[in-house]
Amino acid sequence: MDFTSTRSKKNGTSNSNDSDGRDSRAIVRRRPPTIELLASTSSTLATIMFTWTIIRQYCPHDLRQYLHRYLNKFIDYIYPNPYVRIAIYEFVGERLNRSKAFAAVESYLSTKLSDDAKRLKAEVGDNKNNFSLNIDEYERITDEYENAEFWWTLSKISGSAKKSTSLYPEPDRRYYQLKFHKKHRNLVTESYLKHVLKEGREIKVNRRQRKLYTNGTGNRLTIHRQSTMWSEVYFEHPANFDTIAMDPEKKHEIVEDLLTFRESKDYYARIGKAWKRGYLLYGPPGTGKSTMIAAMANLLNYDVYDLELTAVKDNTELRKLLIETTSKSIIVIEDIDCSLELTGQRKIKKEESSKDEEKVKEKEKLIKEHLKKEEEEVKSRVTLSGLLNFIDGIWSACGGERLIVFTTNHVEKLDPALIRSGRMDKHIELSYCTFEAFKVLSKNYLNIETHELFEEIQELIKEAKITPADVAENLMPKSRQEAAENSLRRLIRSLEELKRAAEIESTKEEKRAEKSKESKINSCS
């Protein structure tokens, strides 16, 4: 009995264990289908991510593009996509200048921002106190046009995605992507895109801020399309033709010439000539050449590109700088007579006295060594031919509506080919101050149009050579309480000193001329 009882207990224990095992396996088999789906999906995603990482790291770029293209075709075949996408790139192909379509879209979308936009970028507005907003990368904007919806996104193709053997990293390529339903294709191609371009251009013109650009050696290696060879600041010079000290008739002539140029787009197209014009400003230092350029820019509402010619590496870089300039601009090369390789450096006049001849030669030698060292550092290889092509060659027609302005203190040193008509179309001499120019300055600085001292100043200013800059310095009050008469008397003293200095110099010249004449007579006798 005990043996049977024991065996039955053992059998009972075994039966209960088998029952528990079957229950646990049943529980495992009866797991919710959602958990099983998540587990399967996670495993699949992990496998895909691992495989994609291996492909990106070891698969050649061209092969990846090939696979990506046919994968998209396969997906479209399985699940047809009813939407069409159009990309508008910032730079197209090998073009060096920015796409006008991209800029127009950028301006257009800045007015379509919704309250739902989360990624924005800000820039200073026209009045420099407010910010203008636009979409940042990967933000989407919805636009409506004739009861149709369109979606815009700013995206980019990373430069690191494509391997390059170039010394410089491949730049990112930004683009706007337009997405719409395929049923609106005709609306987009026939009407919507034209609407965007027109509105964008108008907005850009209304928001346009004039800028002052300059080039430099720091930007010389910045040659990729998304980099710029120009540095910029906002142009805020207050000069205008009302405040320029010069003869009123001459001033009126210059203003009319500038306004005629600005309104002559159709005329230049009809005669088959690039829409540009050259101005040569010449005269002694301090006669207002730079102020004249600022007044021209303010009158025409043009940007100013201050081209430092000695910082340009070669003719090719000069051409790239020209390509990056915009229309409605003034390209300025100041003191062009000092540029290397174009006119030569200013030569030192040899003294007639044999006593100083050796010193002059030594000085010339030191200057030549210094210039040679400086030239090696700058490594400027711009030639006269390259500059002439810059002014009126084929590339000069890029953009249109440009003024090219040269300034010089010594017009006689310039190559005639550089300043002939067709290159420098209008020559403007800015000379010493006249009485008419003085009256403009007295109105600007002292707010007076007549004074009892004007007659004395008129007589002195005919005999003394004084620049408008020196006149302005004498007229400027030196304290808040200084009266206008004190400024006028200070100017009179300066004019009298200049007159005496001119008389002394004239006497010396006469004596030198007499000695030279006597020496010639003695040598002949």
> How is residue 483 annotated by DSSP?
-
- Whether 407 shows a pLDDT value over 90: the answer reads yes
C-alpha span between 117 and 135 (Å, rounded): 8
Q: Which of 519, 478, 471, 477 is nearest to 495 (CA)?
A: 471
Does residue 9 sit within a domain?
no
Mean pLDDT value of segment 238-245:
92
For a pLDDT cut of 70, what percent of the chain falls above it?
Answer: 77
Chain centroid to Cα 46, Å, comes to: 48
Residue type, 505: E
pLDDT band at 6 (very low <50, low <70, confident <90, very high): very low
- Whether 169 shows a pLDDT value over 60: the answer reads no
* pLDDT computed for residue 371 by the predictor: 60
Q: Which of 271, 268, 283, 310 is nearest to 403 (CA)?
A: 268
**What single string gives the DSSP state of each residue in 72-138?**
HHHHHHHS---EEEEEEESS-TT--SPPHHHHHHHHHHTT---TT---EEEEE-TTSSSEEEEE-TT
Q: Which of 326, 321, 96 is nearest to 225 (CA)?
A: 96
306 and 204 in a common domain: no
User: What ranges make up the beta strands (E) of 307-424?
Assistant: 329-333, 402-408
Spatial contact of 213 and 231, defined as CB atoms under 8 Å apart: yes
C-alpha span between 147 and 20 (Å, rounded): 67
253 and 222 in a common domain: yes
Where does a domain end: 161, 190, 209?
209
C-alpha span between 366 and 291 (Å, rounded): 35
- Whether 489 shows a pLDDT value over 90: the answer reads yes
Chain centroid to Cα 291, Å, comes to: 21
C-alpha span between 81 and 236 (Å, rounded): 52
335 token code pair: 């003191």
pLDDT band at 372 (very low <50, low <70, confident <90, very high): low
Spatial contact of 338 and 332, defined as CB atoms under 8 Å apart: no
Does residue 295 sit within a domain?
yes
Mean pLDDT value of segment 124-138:
68
Q: Which run of H or E residues covers position 487?
A: helix 484-524
How far CA 269 is from CA of 257, 263, 272, 392, 422, in Å, comes to 18, 12, 5, 16, 16
Residues of the domain holding 100: 62-209
What are the backbone angles phi and psi of residue 66, rounded to the nearest 5°? -60, -50
Does residue 33 sit within a domain?
no
State the CATH number of the domain containing residue 281: 3.40.50.300
- Whether 240 shows a pLDDT value over 80: the answer reads yes
Does residue 48 sit within a domain?
no
497 and 460 in a common domain: yes
Mean pLDDT value of segment 456-480:
92
C-alpha span between 123 and 129 (Å, rounded): 10
| Opening angle at CA 396, ends 394 and 397, nearest 5 | 80
* pLDDT computed for residue 223 by the predictor: 39
- Whether 15 shows a pLDDT value over 70: the answer reads no
**What single string gives the DSSP state of each residue in 190-204?**
IIIHHHHHHHHHHHH
Residue 10 burial (C-beta neighbours within 10 Å; 0-12, 13-18, 19+): exposed
Mean pLDDT value of segment 103-113:
87
Spatial contact of 164 and 170, defined as CB atoms under 8 Å apart: yes
- Whether 13 shows a pLDDT value over 60: the answer reads no
Q: In b/e form, how buried is each residue of 390-408, taking b as 16+ CB within 10 angstroms?
A: bbbeeebebbebbbbbbbb
Mean pLDDT value of segment 398-420:
89
488 and 340 in a common domain: no
For a pLDDT cut of 90, what percent of the chain falls above it?
Answer: 36
* pLDDT computed for residue 168 by the predictor: 54
C-alpha span between 36 and 31 (Å, rounded): 7
332 and 406 in a common domain: yes
C-alpha span between 62 and 460 (Å, rounded): 80
> Which residue is it, tokens 């209304």?
206
* pLDDT computed for residue 351 by the predictor: 41
C-alpha span between 97 and 227 (Å, rounded): 10
Mean pLDDT value of segment 88-110:
80
494 and 405 in a common domain: no
> Which residue is it, tokens 């300039």?
325
Where does a domain end: 209, 232, 254?
209
442 token code pair: 């007295």
404 token code pair: 């090219």
* pLDDT computed for residue 470 by the predictor: 94
Does residue 525 sit within a domain?
no
- Whether 397 shows a pLDDT value over 90: the answer reads no
Mean pLDDT value of segment 150-173:
69
Does residue 493 sit within a domain?
yes
pLDDT band at 317 (very low <50, low <70, confident <90, very high): confident
* pLDDT computed for residue 152 by the predictor: 92
- Whether 5 shows a pLDDT value over 50: the answer reads no
pLDDT band at 375 (very low <50, low <70, confident <90, very high): low
In this structure, the chain runs to a length of 525
Where does a domain end: 183, 209, 235?
209
* pLDDT computed for residue 26 by the predictor: 47
What are the backbone angles phi and psi of residue 175, rounded to the nearest 5°? -160, 155
C-alpha span between 384 and 108 (Å, rounded): 43
Does residue 258 sit within a domain?
yes
Q: Which of 377, 391, 385 is nearest to 332 (CA)?
A: 391
Mean pLDDT value of segment 101-105:
90
131 and 252 in a common domain: no
- β-partners of residue 141 are 152
Q: Which of 291, 369, 384, 305 is nearest to 339 (CA)?
A: 384
Does residue 265 sit within a domain?
yes
228 and 187 in a common domain: no
**CB under 8 Å to 256, separation ≥6 — which residues?**
none
- Whether 30 shows a pLDDT value over 90: the answer reads no
Mean pLDDT value of segment 66-94:
78
276 and 220 in a common domain: yes
Q: How many domains does the chain have?
A: 3
101 and 199 in a common domain: yes
290 and 199 in a common domain: no
289 and 159 in a common domain: no
Q: How do residues 274-298 score in pLDDT, each as one tens digit?
A: 999 999 999 999 999 999 999 999 9
C-alpha span between 502 and 487 (Å, rounded): 23
